[in-house]
Structure 1
Amino acid sequence: MKLLVAVNPTAGAGAAKKAASAAVTSLIALGHGVTVLAGPSYATLVDRVSSAVAERSPDALVVVGGDGMVQLGANVLAGTTVPLGIVATGTGNDVARTLGLPLRDPEAAALVIHEALPGPPHWMDLGRISRDQDGAGVLWFAGACSAGFDAIVNARANTWSWPRGKSRYTLAVLRELAVFRPIGYRLVIDGSAESTAAMLVSVANGRSIGGGMKITPDALCDDGHLDLLVVSAVSRLRLIAMLPRLFAGTHVSHPAVRIEKVRSVRVEVAGLTVFADGEPVGPAPVQIDVVPRALRVLRPVKSEVSSRNR
């Protein structure tokens, strides 16, 4: 089959470059025709991938990297029938976790793609972000959109190249805890408005952020809903005490925690950059809506997503 393989533009050397090479080699060995797409920047790569998908009618687009590359694929393919394959080699890989895909094993990921291509299609929901600013356009996300302590931590973690995975996120959490204060929000949830002070607000399509922090452990990415998490204003000491439960996904019964299924959320907050799939979106306000069955994905038969689409 004809495959387009988009490689993270930061994969210039070392382990990331080796992983991309291993994935491409495996896909070719499995009998696929592979065209590799790369670029000096994320924006350039988006343009090249969009043009290639439109011009070449591939059987699938494969992205090699982390959640940011999954977001790239989702934004190119949303609303089409072209499936997305994921070779998860990034720092977080939270979308791959939700889909039950191999992590940092490019050969195994290539085999999953190969075996899933001729199988029945699997569709997942996406979150759609709209911003009020002129020319901001629409952005799609597959994992989670964060606007709170988690977004601030994301911004901090993105400035570091070490350590990898959950450890980087954990260190960023500890760094930001020293100065963080509750934030005032206006939320419009499925048309109902409220004002609240909170530590953390996330609108999630998947189960985890930050390399496995299970903020919405019961989320399903194909149930036609997003999971809204709000952690109410608490002291820093209480937030510190809550962190192990947030990482383990056992925080859902905490009195400061609220999780609900939603279809749309408008987030209004001053002076905060919103993040989606670990990447900066821009300042609030943002309108977030679920779009059911917006993206076709290639995944193993046994995965953590809902069985509704199997």
Structure 2
Amino acid sequence: MHAALAVHPASGNGAAERLMESVAARLRPVVDRLDVLVAHTVEESRALMTDSRAAGLDVLVVLGGDGAAHQGVQFCAESGVALGLVPAGTGNDFARALDIPERPHAAADLVARRIAEGKRRRVDLGRAGGEWFATVLCSGFDALVTERANRLTWPRGPRRYDVAILAELAAFRPRPVVLRTDVETLELDATMIAVGNTPFYGGGMRICPGADPEDGLFDVTVVGNATRRDLLLMLPGVRSGEHTAHPAVRTLKAAQIHLAGSDLPVYADGEPVGRLPLDVTCVPGALTVVG
């Protein structure tokens, strides 16, 4: 068994770097070879992963946050290399969706146990703009919030998103959007659209509460022409998924989606993937995960 531990030292404000040795120590007893790949940039990370794959990599374990997990997904999708996650970031939404413990050492112990037992499962991924994504793709208000949150250095953790939400509320207005699926077409003034492969984004917000990464379909949450007051009333329920009961919210399922109508930014797994228009596809079983 050849495994690699990909470490993004800056994840979690340096938590990943501090945890690197202790996590590696938990993995070494269950594998024949463990490469520790420390990368400070996306390009460096991809180069190190490619070198390990050339040496016959079986499992890639990512120590970091959702940005690090996103890079691991790009590498492992449709490759046969299984992905394991040890969360050490500020959001950790993909790990949360896979029921991986929040505490890094508990997560590392779980990943090690599953490697030893040979447990694997296949999960769906989304594909958009040449990028894979594992959690949620969003456009509109929530994409603008993500854009702003990524620029903030304070506060740390999910509270960054709360600050970004309040800042974006002051300026945002609904935009004309066309949403075409393999089943129906919607033309509306939309506040936001979230396409969920898994339920969570923004550090545990259950924006697409019914999303299941093993059903071959996206869960789509569409917030129509909502006022600022509507959004303020709706936002507390996003943590629990209760926002879907609001009259401005519509949910649907689809495997193929075309989004157009406004030049809005699009984010997936918290990473920029371009602007509208954009085609989004659910690819069943595209990723093998340890578990």
Query: TM-score normalized by structure 2?
Result: 0.94
Q: 1:171 to 1:26 in 2, by over 3 A?
A: same
Q: Is the 8 A contact 2:145 2:164 kept in 1?
A: yes
Letter in 2 for 1:217: P
1:210 to 202, 212, 234: 202
Q: 1:129 to 1:12 in 2, by over 3 A?
A: closer
2:272 to 268, 271, 280: 280
Range 11-20 or range 42-51, more displaced: 11-20
Number of aligned residue pairs: give it.
Answer: 290
Equivalent residue number for residue 286 of structure 2: 294
CA shift at 1:12, angstroms?
A: 9.9
| 3-state DSSP of counterpart to 1:158 | helix
- Measure, in 1, the Cα distance between the counterparts of 2:259 and 2:58: 37
CA shift at 1:128, angstroms?
A: 0.8
1:238 to 221, 230, 236: 230
Range 230-239 or range 115-124, more displaced: 115-124
Deviations 1:117-176 (A, max 9, x none): 23342110000113xxxxxxx210000111111100000110113323221111111111
Equivalent residue number for residue 42 of structure 1: 42
Equivalent residue number for residue 78 of structure 1: 77
| 3-state DSSP of counterpart to 1:275 | strand
2:159 to 143, 167, 174: 167
| 3-state DSSP of counterpart to 1:203 | strand
- Measure, in 2, the Cα distance between the counterparts of 1:86 and 1:71: 11
- Measure, in 1, the Cα distance between the counterparts of 2:157 and 2:77: 27
Please say if 1:196 is aligned against 2:188: yes
Q: How does 1:53-72 map onto structure 2 within 5 Å?
A: 53=53, 55-72=54-71
Letter in 1 for 2:10: T
CA shift at 1:250, angstroms?
A: 0.8
* Identity between Structure 1 and Structure 2 (%): 39
Q: How does 1:93-108 map onto structure 2 within 5 Å?
A: 93-103=92-102, 105-108=103-106
Equivalent residue number for residue 113 of structure 1: 111
- Measure, in 1, the Cα distance between the counterparts of 2:210 and 2:145: 23
Over aligned residue pairs, what C-alpha RMSD do you find? 1.8
Structure 1 runs not aligned, ≥5 long: 131-137, 300-310
- Measure, in 2, the Cα distance between the counterparts of 1:164 and 1:114: 29
Q: Is the 8 A contact 2:11 2:89 kept in 1?
A: no
Letter in 2 for 1:106: P
- Measure, in 2, the Cα distance between the counterparts of 1:121 and 1:281: 29
Q: Is the 8 A contact 2:2 2:31 kept in 1?
A: no
| 3-state DSSP of counterpart to 1:113 | helix
Deviations 1:266-309 (A, max 9, x none): 1114332210101111222211000001101113xxxxxxxxxx
Equivalent residue number for residue 135 of structure 1: none
- Measure, in 2, the Cα distance between the counterparts of 1:292 and 1:119: 21
Range 171-180 or range 33-42, more displaced: 33-42
Equivalent residue number for residue 87 of structure 2: 88
Equivalent residue number for residue 307 of structure 1: none
CA shift at 1:86, angstroms?
A: 0.3
Letter in 1 for 2:51: S
Letter in 2 for 1:4: A
Q: Is the 8 A contact 1:22 1:106 kept in 2?
A: no
Query: TM-score normalized by structure 1?
Result: 0.88
| 3-state DSSP of counterpart to 1:112 | helix
Range 71-80 or range 39-48, more displaced: 39-48
Please say if 1:22 is aligned against 2:22: yes
| 3-state DSSP of counterpart to 1:252 | helix
Q: 1:161 to 1:30 in 2, by over 3 A?
A: farther
